[in-house]
Amino acid sequence: MILELKDVTFSYRSKWNKVDVLKGVNCGFERGKVYGIIGKSGSGKSTVLSLMAGITLPQGGDVLHEGVSTSSMNLQEYRRDKVSVIYQSFRLLPLLTSIENVMYPMELRKVPKKEAKARAEKYLKEVEIPENCWYRFPVTLSGGEQQRVAIARALASETHLILADEPTGNLDAENSDKIIELLKTLAKEHDYCVIIVTHDVDVMDKLDVIYRMQNGILVERKS
Ligand SMILES: Nc1ncnc2c1ncn2[C@@H]1O[C@H](COP(=O)(O)OP(=O)(O)OP(=O)(O)O)[C@@H](O)[C@H]1O
Ligand SMILES: [Mg+2]
């Protein structure tokens, strides 16, 4: 089990109210598989992803990565070395070109520049970003192109855990298929664990395990 959630609870609090989003989530994720998380808007899918990504900590229970609780680790190192995230809103750095965006996480991890560039080119090609986009800034790219650059950036880090919040939300059926196939190949051939939040029924059909976020917990959907 690369990732395990045990009795995870999380609420958003403000001065005036408290929203209980996660009410005791229990589930596990293995390498070699692609998982889907589905559920209504506002049900807590992005919240659970941000706990898995080490962006926030659970208020109750534990998120365990290879048996170690995120509550007891150096989160900065965890985020840098163990997990890659594809955000719902891409979050490309606006002042870096496409290829620099892909190289940036590798630079943080002290990957030699030459290797970082080679990997960036490899993954930009894999997601079919044409070379004329590589040296342009994100604002000049279409939504689907930005999304694919964000995917390349996550893949280029080559961490075994990839979290993606609607990675195909802005892509047409053909591009969406290719991305899902690529993520499946990484899972099957390189033993990655990929967890995808999705609303797309065609995407769901292609995944190994589906969890539904319902009333604050994740329930496995039996097919
Ligand atoms: N920073 C925040 N402060 C207060 N409430 C928040 C915050 N972020 C999210 N929420 C609330 O928590 C609930 C879960 O939000 P979350 O973003 O996890 O949902 P989601 O399942 O990802 O929805 P969507 O499918 O629309 O992306 C929502 O009711 C949302 O309004
Ligand atoms: Mg969301």
Nearest ligand atom owner, CA of 87: 2
3-class DSSP state of 25? strand
Residue 213, pLDDT score:
96
67 and 23 within one domain: yes
- Ligand 1 touching residue 45 (CB < 6 A): yes
Strands 68-69 and 60-65: what pairing? antiparallel
Of 138, 206, 212, nearest in space to 176 by CA: 206
- Asked if 85 and 164 touch (Cβ cutoff 8 Å), the reply is yes
Residue 165, pLDDT score:
94
Q: What is the pLDDT of residues 134-153, one digit of tens each?
A: 999 999 999 899 999 999 99
- Ligand 1 touching residue 223 (CB < 6 A): no
Nearest CA to ligand 1 atom 4: 12
What is the C-alpha to C-alpha distance for residues 40 and 49, in angstroms, rounded to an integer?
Answer: 15
Partner residues linked to 38 by β-bridges: 212
pTM: 0.93
| 41 C-alpha to ligand 2 centroid (Å) | 7
Residue ending a domain, among 106, 127, 158, is 158
15 and 77 within one domain: yes
Residue 36: which domain range? Answer: 1-82+162-223
76 and 16 within one domain: yes
71 and 7 within one domain: yes
166 and 59 within one domain: yes
pLDDT grade, residue 130 (50/70/90)?
very high
| 181 C-alpha to ligand 1 centroid (Å) | 29
**Nearest-atom index, ligand 1, CA of 49:** 18
What is the C-alpha to C-alpha distance for residues 216 and 92, in angstroms, rounded to an integer?
Answer: 30
Q: What is the pLDDT of residues 71-80, one digit of tens each?
A: 999 999 999 9
205 and 107 within one domain: no
Strands 209-214 and 34-38: what pairing? parallel
Residue 223, pLDDT score:
65
126 and 29 within one domain: no
Q: Provide the number of structural domains found in the chain.
A: 2
